[in-house]
Each structure stands twice: as structure tokens, then as C-alpha cells.
């Protein structure tokens, strides 16, 4: 729980996301797997009215999931 509240952890996560999104060896489908849900949730927040999570929280959770998944898939640290 402590890492989820750490600004350093989230800064590093978003740096990892940026590097993964600009990397040439990461497939465009994998990049879209992160970008499309995040953009849709930011544009259409009422699409999931029974999910009381803020937009930035959804983005942060997806960013963490995406970074871990892509680093494991493409053997990056």
C-alpha cells in the first residue's frame, strides 16, 4: 500500500510508460491496449456510471498494469 501512495513510484511508472510508448520494438497493438481504454475513459466517464473511480485513478492503475505487462513481455527493466 505504501508504494501506491509514493510520488516517486508513480513518477517512475509514468516514465516507464513514456519509454514503452515511444519504443519501436513494442507493437502498436500493445500500445493501443493502453491508450484506447484510457482515452475512452477520459472522454466518456459516464460509460461506466457504477464504477466510482476518478479518471486519474483509472489511468494510474492501467499505467501500472501496462508497464509491468510490457516489461515482462519485451524483457525490459
| pLDDT, tens only, 17-57 | 999 999 998 899 999 988 888 888 777 766 666 666 677 77
pTM of the model: 0.69
The pLDDT of 64-68, averaged and rounded, is 90
DSSP-assigned letters across all residues of 3-53: GGG-HHHHHHHHHHHHHHHH-SSS-HHHHHHHHHHHHHHHH-GGGSTT---
Amino acid at each position: 500500500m505504501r508504494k501506491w501512495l509514493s510520488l516517486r513510484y508513480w513518477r517512475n511508472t509514468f516514465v516507464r510508460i513514456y519509454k514503452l510508448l515511444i519504443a519501436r520494438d513494442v507493437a502498436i497493438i500493445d500500445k493501443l491496449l493502453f491508450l484506447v481504454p484510457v482515452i475512452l475513459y477520459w472522454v466518456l466517464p459516464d460509460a461506466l456510471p457504477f464504477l466510482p473511480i476518478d479518471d486519474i485513478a483509472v489511468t494510474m492503475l492501467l499505467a501500472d498494469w501496462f508497464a509491468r505487462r510490457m516489461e515482462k513481455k519485451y524483457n525490459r527493466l
